Structure 1
Amino acid sequence: MTIDKTAIRNAATVIVLRDRGSDPHILMGQRGAKAAFMPNKFVFPGGAVDAADADIPLATQMPAVCRDRLQEDADGSLVHPLGVACIRELWEETGLILGQQGTWDITPPTDWETYAATGHVPTAHPLQFVFRAITPPGRPRRFDARFFLLDADEIATDLDDFSAACDELSHLQWIPLQKAREFDLPFITEVVLAEVEGRVNDPTPPANVPFFKNGDEESLFLRLKGREPNMADE
């Protein structure tokens, strides 16, 4: 089957914030020069949601307010796989584990075998939904990306050990938040950084979430404030 490379794919990106109360740093890496999407750019860990992500059990769920915002202007069934994709991409691209000690209730799929071998099960409760953006038309790849803020204190493994990372991102490093704009960043990453800077001193999930909705006919800047209540919610 031929995959339409310009179709909009759901994606999850993880912004890991370290030492937020004293000297905030964020985890970033550099994409390869031959990458079809954003070559050479410094980015946060993340990637497209896989079909299998829907079947991965989570020991804990994202905060209710985040799950609610994720369902606005979107398929509600995406909430679970988006959380799973965050944890999977963080593990694959950095070797860091978001999870707790435990035993899997299912046989881990191939993509999760090395993660499960560490003795952890994935947890999503520390993930905070903070931004959403759809790649504008005309790009070689298009994503409906949700950005999640994660406090580094929630990571179960050594924050400076990237030895289990794949080679998708090079130069993995903790960058001082105030110096991040000195790197070669995608435009949307610069926009998200401003949102992160505003949340450094607030550990609670945001009440509303910025959304760059770039469609084929128009581009809109919206705020996701939650679904309108209906009879089923009453």
Structure 2
Amino acid sequence: MEGMTRAEVDKVENKDFALGVGPKRPRDAATLILLDRVGGEFRVLMGRRHMRHAFMPGKFVFPGGRTDPADSRIPVVTGLHPDVECKLVGKRTSTARARAIALSAVRETYEEAGLLIGRKGAFATSKADWQGFADHGVRPSLEALRFVARAITPPGRVRRFDTRFLAAFKDDVAVELADGGPTNELEEIVWLPLAQAKNADVPAITRTVLDDLESQLKEDPLLSPGGSAPFYYMRHNRFCRDVL
């Protein structure tokens, strides 16, 4: 997608997003790419969004969503690795906001896929969206998360997000609920080999991020913290790719 004009991007993504007048400023969001190494290949967790959604209807995506205000007030047993936090913090993103963004990826992974990332132990909260961690005795943790990409939804969409793509490994899951998460935003939750995931019905930006991630994993299978991460955004009618 790098170097494409806005018209070209609109054509590629016309089935991914509802076009129209949307928010002028993208909202912070996060998504979690959960990886499982089986033999010599990596699998990735994905689920299909319902057709009723205006944002990526019917597409296979990673668990994720918008950062909520309550996410900033959730205690964690361990914070972000300093090198990961450094990558997330920017001119408009404070340390506290970076932490909230990362926590939103953990929360959404529980809500949509029934996977709780953290450490076993007593946890209490007054926040309804995090009650599942208390119920199942999991203390949220951020130390396992790795920052692998960032993408801002181009203008002209009904929904616009500034999405940070984070990654973790299946071994970082403390509890896996047999019946999935409490929401029904994702269906057909499956583990797909990376090559198969790229050929599934995924949004164009998801396929682009998977291409980048595949290259990263070949060079660094453990995804060491602080590695380079691509940043995709639209500027002057061109889709750009920077490296953070």
Q: Could you say which TM-score interval applies, normalised by the shorter chain? A: 0.7 to 0.9
**Secondary structure at the counterpart of residue 190 of structure 2:** strand
Q: Could you tell me which residue of structure 1 aligns to residue 241 of structure 2?
A: 221
Residues of 2 paired with 1:99 and 1:216: CA distance?
Answer: 41
How far is 1:181 from its partner? 2.1
Equivalent of 2:185 in 162, 168, 181: 168
**Secondary structure at the counterpart of residue 75 of structure 1:** coil
Q: Specify every segment of 5 or more residues in structure 1 that has no aligned partner in the other structure, as ranges.
A: 225-234
- Relative to the length of structure 1, the TM-score reads 0.87
Say whether the 8 Å CA contact 1:108–1:116 is kept in structure 2: no
Identity %: 37
Residue 103 (1) aligns with residue 122 (2): yes
Q: Pairwise mapping of residues 58-137 of structure 1 onto structure 2 (< 5 A)?
A: 58-76=76-94, 77-104=96-123, 107-137=125-155
**Residues 33/71 of structure 1: CA separation in 2 closer, same or farther (3 Å cut):** same
Q: Could you tell me which residue of structure 1 aligns to residue 161 of structure 2?
A: 143
Letter in 2 for 1:167: N
**Secondary structure at the counterpart of residue 167 of structure 1:** coil
Letter in 1 for 2:121: G
Equivalent of 1:196 in 213, 233, 241: 213
Equivalent of 2:37 in 19, 33, 53: 19
Say whether the 8 Å CA contact 1:96–1:162 is kept in structure 2: no
User: What is the CA deviation profile of residues 45-80 of structure 1, one whole-angstrom value per residue up to 9, with x for unaligned ones?
Assistant: 000000111101111112111110111343123211
**Residues 155/107 of structure 1: CA separation in 2 closer, same or farther (3 Å cut):** closer
Residues of 2 paired with 1:200 and 1:162: CA distance?
Answer: 30
**Aligned pairs, how many?**
219
**Secondary structure at the counterpart of residue 144 of structure 1:** strand
How far is 1:144 from its partner? 0.2
Q: Specify every segment of 5 or more residues in structure 2 that has no aligned partner in the other structure, as ranges.
A: 1-20
**Secondary structure at the counterpart of residue 157 of structure 1:** strand
Q: Could you tell me which residue of structure 2 aligns to residue 227 of structure 1?
A: none
Letter in 1 for 2:50: G
Residues of 2 paired with 1:216 and 1:38: CA distance?
Answer: 25
How far is 1:33 from its partner? 0.6
Residues of 2 paired with 1:81 and 1:5: CA distance?
Answer: 24
Equivalent of 2:66 in 27, 42, 48: 48
Letter in 2 for 1:191: T
Residues of 2 paired with 1:108 and 1:100: CA distance?
Answer: 19
Residues of 2 paired with 1:87 and 1:179: CA distance?
Answer: 25
Residues of 1 paired with 2:153 and 2:193: CA distance?
Answer: 26
Q: Could you tell me which residue of structure 2 aligns to residue 205 of structure 1?
A: 225
**Residues 18/165 of structure 1: CA separation in 2 closer, same or farther (3 Å cut):** farther
Residues of 2 paired with 1:162 and 1:16: CA distance?
Answer: 18
How far is 1:219 from its partner? 4.3
What is the Cα-based RMSD across aligned positions, in Å? 2.0
Say whether the 8 Å CA contact 2:138–2:175 is kept in structure 1: no
**Residues 206/217 of structure 1: CA separation in 2 closer, same or farther (3 Å cut):** same
User: What is the CA deviation profile of residues 123-148 of structure 1, one whole-angstrom value per residue up to 9, with x for unaligned ones?
Assistant: 00000001000000011100000000
